[in-house]
């Protein structure tokens, strides 16, 4: 490559590298390939697998197998009532107690420790963004808090008065959706904290996205679940047994939707077409929210492998 009359001229002669330079170039190209793949794959609902985790009464969080068998997983502090559940990228589970202003961090082994203290309010939903920041719905003060991975809490957005935010869910573009229970609507909040109306639905509670970008909302007052397209068009998806009081929602890797039925002490399973509703797990005291551990994406695994390859080759040269 050379400069001629202010222009860049690319030489057609072959460029040669030494053995060490070639190895470095290959490592660099491997990392570039991993980055390219990660950027090329659009963000979507992550693949998940069992076990399922469910928050409920008596400060307990249960673990449920693929066969619907529930077992104890962790307990929060005495008197705490766990609500929102969310997993970070390391497989740690986070739970908020609606009556203590505390978010707890729970390791895969079930060890519980304090993570952050929220403003004085009733707290409900939790959700992670793509950067590892946790968001919490502060129901009685109509606010959404943002918590960094280090546990630093700040105000992210303020909703219209008397919204009483409940469930939270992120779409693939980093927008946060909030179930505003008292105002019969779902709000959309941009990554910059700008709040707008996304859809009008009756008494929304839990929220969850399917793999196609449709949003689902539970309605505790009507025992129904709505499906909302990316354009905000609302339709009935499923009807649960009378008195179910569905709250939290979550999808499995096969497209089945699960609902925490607070009043009937069970988790319902709903087929991908919404036509079949059946009990999945029973005997859970007052279930409120559901969470699955997200599986690593192919892009994450490729990037991890590329990074390991680069480090191994570098260590050999030291």
**Exposure string for 3-12, b = 16+ CB within 10 A, e = fewer:** eeeeeeeeee
Q: What is the pLDDT of residues 208-227, one digit of tens each?
A: 999 999 999 999 999 999 99
Residue 232, by phi and psi: left (phi above 0), alpha (psi -120 to 50) or beta? left
Determine which of 126-135, 219-228, 246-255, 304-313 has the lowest per-residue pLDDT on average: 304-313
Alpha carbons within 13 angstroms on the beta-carbon side of residue 93 total 29
Which residues, including other chains, have CB under 8 Å from residue 105's CB and lie 6 or more apart? 92, 93, 94, 112, 113, 114, 115
Is the four-CA dihedral 85, 88, 90, 94 of positive or negative sign? negative
User: What is 48-296's CATH number, 3.90.650.10, 3.20.20.70, 2.130.10.10, 3.40.309.10?
Assistant: 2.130.10.10
How far apart are the C-alpha atoms of 244 and 23, rounded to whole Å? 61
How far apart are the C-alpha atoms of 185 and 200, rounded to whole Å? 4
How far apart are the C-alpha atoms of 13 and 314, rounded to whole Å? 30
How far apart are the C-alpha atoms of 182 and 203, rounded to whole Å? 6
- The neighbouring-strand residues paired with 188 are 177, 196
Q: What is the pLDDT of residues 3-21, one digit of tens each?
A: 444 443 444 444 444 545 4
Question: What is the separation, in whole angstroms, between the first and last Cα of the chain?
Answer: 32
Q: What is the pLDDT of residues 113-170, one digit of tens each?
A: 999 999 998 889 999 999 999 999 999 999 999 999 999 999 999 999 999 999 999 9
Judged against a pLDDT cut of 50, whether residue 44 lies above it is answered with no
Strands 93-97, 48-55: parallel, antiparallel or unpaired by DSSP? unpaired
Sequence spans of domains, the chain: 15-41+299-317, 48-296
How far apart are the C-alpha atoms of 300 and 70, rounded to whole Å? 31
How far apart are the C-alpha atoms of 247 and 25, rounded to whole Å? 52
């Amino acid at each position: 490559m050379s400069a001629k009359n202010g222009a860049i001229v690319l030489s057609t002669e072959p460029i040669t590298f030494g053995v060490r330079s070639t190895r470095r170039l290959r490592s660099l190209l491997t990392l570039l390939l991993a980055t390219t793949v990660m950027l090329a794959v659009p963000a979507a609902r992550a693949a998940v697998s069992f076990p399922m985790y469910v928050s409920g009464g008596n400060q307990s969080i249960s673990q449920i197998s693929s066969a619907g068998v529930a077992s104890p997983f962790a307990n929060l502090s005495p008197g705490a009532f766990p609500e929102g559940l969310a997993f970070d990228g390391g497989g740690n589970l986070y739970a908020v107690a609606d009556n203590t202003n505390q978010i707890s961090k729970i390791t895969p082994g079930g060890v519980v420790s304090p993570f952050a203290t929220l403003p004085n309010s009733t707290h409900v939903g939790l959700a992670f963004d793509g950067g590892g920041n946790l968001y919490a719905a502060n129901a009685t003060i109509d606010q959404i808090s943002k918590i960094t991975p280090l546990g630093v809490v700040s105000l992210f957005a303020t909703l219209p008065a008397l919204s009483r935010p409940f469930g939270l869910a992120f779409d693939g573009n980093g927008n946060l959706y909030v179930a505003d229970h008292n105002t019969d609507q779902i709000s959309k909040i941009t990554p910059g904290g700008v709040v707008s109306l996304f859809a009008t639905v009756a008494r929304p509670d839990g929220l969850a996205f399917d793999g196609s970008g449709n949003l689902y909302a539970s309605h505790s007052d009507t025992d129904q679940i709505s499906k909302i397209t990316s354009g905000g068009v609302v339709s009935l998806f499923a009807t649960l047994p009378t008195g179910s009081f569905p709250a939290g929602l979550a999808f499995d890797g096969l497209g089945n939707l699960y609902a925490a039925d607070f009043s009937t002490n069970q988790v319902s399973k709903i087929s991908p077409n919404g036509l079949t509703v059946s009990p999945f797990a029973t005997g859970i005291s007052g279930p409120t929210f559901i969470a699955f551990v997200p599986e690593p994406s192919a892009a994450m695994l490729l990037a991890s492998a590329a990074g390991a390859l680069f480090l191994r080759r570098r260590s050999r040269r030291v």
